[in-house]
Structure 1
Amino acid sequence: MTSPTLRGATRSSTSGPVRVAWALLGAFLLVWVVFEMIKHAGWVIPLGVLGFIAPDLSFFVGASGAHQHGQLPRGTVGPYNLVHRPIGPLLWMTVTALLADGPGDNAAPFTFGLAWLLHIAMDRALGYGLRTADGWQR
């Protein structure tokens, strides 16, 4: 077993082909998010940007506590892992699509979900995945 210091310095051990698949999904989602922002404008643009950065706001939840470089504090791990799972944005997009009264009615919240999923795909493509209970990369 490696020491926590060495473990924390590495990224996910996910295979290259899986990371390439995440990168391809990320490229597709990026094009889709930009398309939706240009098509609908208005509130779609800030919600799209917010959807992309919002998952990393989980770093501030429970951020106090002892931890090493590359390790999340224990109080941050749960919220971080929760918002970095693809099921969250997929459920969000499904619910917003089902609640819409008509085409384009849900563009802003739907784009928020797309951008959130884009964030997750790009994290996975770059080797950042979910964290263990003690805050290290899996």
Structure 2
Amino acid sequence: MARTEPTGAARSSTPASLRAVWGVLGAFLLAWDVFEVVKHTGWVIPAAALGAVLPDLSRLAGLGQATRPGQLAPRVVPLYNLLHRAVIPFAIMIVFSFLGDGPEDIAAPFTFAMSWLTNIAIARALGFGLRTPDGWQR
């Protein structure tokens, strides 16, 4: 049986209940991000901004490669999928929770990872997840 390619921008087939859980997590993390940025300021602000856009920066590596609507450039997929794994920013948050002598020592890298995780959670809530090797939504 031949595999048919989706036409147009397709979203994942994740159940609505799981997407709702991702949405609640994303909203909670976004509120926590804002709290941390307001509380610590300084280097936390650019760290949070970078964390918020980092997963989507991988798309820049596919510029100039011809793709169909909804398809990610196949050469970008490994990096895109790596940066959209929730376990990586979560692990960074855990590690930095135990480093440093006080909250000011870990605020920037912790908030960076939390913003990264927020991006992933919101994307999953909207139905965007990992990609197949040829660039389509799974």
TM over 0.5: yes
Superposition pairs of residues 54-133 of structure 1, within 5 angstroms:
54-133=54-133
| Runs of 4+ residues over 4 Å off in structure 1 | none
Offset of residue 63 of structure 1? 3.9
| Alignment partner of 1:44 is 2:44 | yes
* Cross-structure match for 1:9: 9
Q: List gaps (5 residues or longer) in structure 1.
A: none
Task: Name the CA distance, whole Å, in 1 between partners of 2:4 and 2:132.
Answer: 14
Offset of residue 62 of structure 1? 4.5
Aligned to 1:105, what secondary structure does the other structure show? helix
CA RMSD of aligned residues (A): 1.6
Offset of residue 121 of structure 1? 0.2
Task: Name the CA distance, whole Å, in 2 between partners of 1:15 and 1:119.
Answer: 19
Check whether the contact 2:62–2:72 (CA below 8 A) recurs between aligned residues: no
Task: Name the CA distance, whole Å, in 1 between partners of 2:66 and 2:31.
Answer: 40
Task: Name the CA distance, whole Å, in 1 between partners of 2:109 and 2:15.
Answer: 33
Task: Name the CA distance, whole Å, in 1 between partners of 2:3 and 2:39.
Answer: 50
Percent identity for Structure 1 against Structure 2:
53
Letter in 2 for 1:127: G
TM-score of the superposition, structure 2-length normalised?
0.92
Aligned to 1:110, what secondary structure does the other structure show? helix
Task: Name the CA distance, whole Å, in 2 between partners of 1:9 and 1:113.
Answer: 28
* Cross-structure match for 2:21: 21
Task: Name the CA distance, whole Å, in 1 between partners of 2:117 and 2:132.
Answer: 21
Check whether the contact 1:61–1:79 (CA below 8 A) recurs between aligned residues: no
Offset of residue 111 of structure 1? 0.3
Count, aligned residues? 137
TM-score of the superposition, structure 1-length normalised?
0.92
Q: List gaps (5 residues or longer) in structure 2.
A: none
Check whether the contact 2:6–2:136 (CA below 8 A) recurs between aligned residues: no
